[in-house]
Amino acid sequence: MRFSIWRITLKVIFVVFMLLIMIGPLVGIVIWSFARVWYWPSPIPQEFTLRYWLEVFRQGRVLNSLMLSVTIALLTVVFSITLAIPAAYGFARYKLPFERVLLLLFLMPQTFPQLPVFINLASIFGRMGLRGNIWGIILAHTMASLVFSLWIITATFKSIPVELEHVAQNLGASRFKTFWTVTFPLAIPGIIAGAIYVFLWSMGEFTAAFFIGAPFIQTAPVLMYTSSMGYNLQIASVIAIILVIPSLIFMVLIERFLKAEYIAGLGG
């Protein structure tokens, strides 16, 4: 490529522009999380403090909401993956009755707005005593995450050559033993990717947690929302950073193992 001063200048401008619009919003919340006093038009806060970060480690509503979110996310992962593994194996290896209908059903939640389902679920749970209860949120999260954990794991099973299973079966292994000793160990990386994905999704999920958890349950995103609305930007920023860091790490590590079509669920 020819050396050209214009080319390099353009490239530098582009890099600075990208950094500003992509990283800028994240830098803003980092600064806010340390701000004690910050009046316009100072470029940085007049006074800094660690007070809001300490709340993460001290008993109180920030720590409580984070612990609650981790508990919900872990239980959601357990339920979602346990349900998804057999179903994914079924989709990957068996001819199914009403296959098209089942496929459509399991793809539908990605293609239609989720909000009407969540609010009606909240109303149904309300009559069953599951509203304002963490089990209500866990059930809703299991349902919503099942759709993408299922497709991630199905893709993993499909990528494992079926011939390996045939070999094991020809040597006399039962279908279950074949799955347990051949297919499952090979699928573990995909299953872990799916599990991490479900965990992160559940940690950041707001809508279901807000409608179903109301009024007693405050997960980290719900506390973040109420803090931000009440102009307690520091608390909101601290929670935002804690939730963002694992997402960024995951993005760098795992993204290339996932097929884009299956991760439609994230974000909410």
Partner 1 sequence: MEVRNRIVGFLLILPAFLILALLYVYPLIRAIWMSFIKDGFLSLANYAKAFDIYSRDILYSVVITSVTVGFVLVLSILLASYLRFKEWRFLDIMYRLPLFIPFLIVGHAMRIFLAPHGTLNSLLTRILKVEELPGFSRSWIGLLWTFVWVMTPYAALIILGAFRALDSSYIEAARNLGASKGKIVFTVIIPMCKPSIMVAAILTFVRTISSLTILVMIGPNTPNMITVDMMFRINFFNDWGVANALGVISYLIVIVLAVYYLRFMAAERGGIKG
Name which of residues 123 to 152 contact partner 1 (CB under 8 A).
123-124, 139-140, 142-143, 146-147, 150-151
Span from 2-10, 21-29, 49-57, 186-194 in contact with partner 1 (CB under 8 A): 21-29
- Alpha carbon distance 69, 258 (integer Å): 24
- Alpha carbon distance 70, 240 (integer Å): 14
Span from 60-68, 96-104, 163-171, 186-194 in contact with partner 1 (CB under 8 A): 96-104
- Alpha carbon distance 100, 26 (integer Å): 43
Side chain identity at 211, as an amino acid letter? F
Question: Binder to partner 1 among 120, 164, 166, 189 (CB under 8 A)?
Answer: 120
Question: Closest approach of Cβ 67 to partner 1, in Å?
Answer: 18
Q: Is 58 left (phi over 0), alpha (psi -120 to 50) or beta?
A: beta
- Alpha carbon distance 54, 117 (integer Å): 38
- Alpha carbon distance 3, 36 (integer Å): 49
DSSP state of 131: T
Pick the closer one to partner 1 by CB: 59 or 162.
Answer: 162
Span from 49-57, 61-69, 82-90, 184-192 in contact with partner 1 (CB under 8 A): 82-90
Span from 19-27, 53-61, 69-77, 166-174 in contact with partner 1 (CB under 8 A): 19-27
Question: Binder to partner 1 among 8, 105, 128, 167 (CB under 8 A)?
Answer: 105
- Alpha carbon distance 194, 256 (integer Å): 13
Say if residues 51 and 36 touch (Cβ distance below 8 Å).
Answer: yes
Pick the closer one to partner 1 by CB: 3 or 40.
Answer: 40
The answer to whether 76 contacts partner 1 (rule: CB under 8 A) is: no
Other CB atoms within 10 A of residue 256 CB: 7
Pick the closer one to partner 1 by CB: 90 or 132.
Answer: 90
Among positions 173-202, residues that touch partner 1 (CB under 8 A) are 175, 200
Question: Closest approach of Cβ 63 to partner 1, in Å?
Answer: 19
The answer to whether 18 contacts partner 1 (rule: CB under 8 A) is: yes
Other CB atoms within 10 A of residue 268 CB: 15
Among positions 44-73, residues that touch partner 1 (CB under 8 A) are none
Task: Return the closest-CA partner of residue 262 out of 147, 157, 159.
Answer: 147
**Residue 241 neighbours by CB under 8 Å, 6+ apart:** 29, 30, 33
Among positions 229-268, residues that touch partner 1 (CB under 8 A) are 229, 233, 236-237, 240, 243-244, 247-248, 250-252, 255, 259-264, 266-268
Pick the closer one to partner 1 by CB: 28 or 185.
Answer: 28
Pick the closer one to partner 1 by CB: 5 or 252.
Answer: 252
Pick the closer one to partner 1 by CB: 59 or 176.
Answer: 176
Question: Closest approach of Cβ 64 to partner 1, in Å?
Answer: 18
Say if residues 106 and 147 touch (Cβ distance below 8 Å).
Answer: yes
What are the φ/ψ torsions at residue 36 (nearest 5 degrees)?
-105, -50
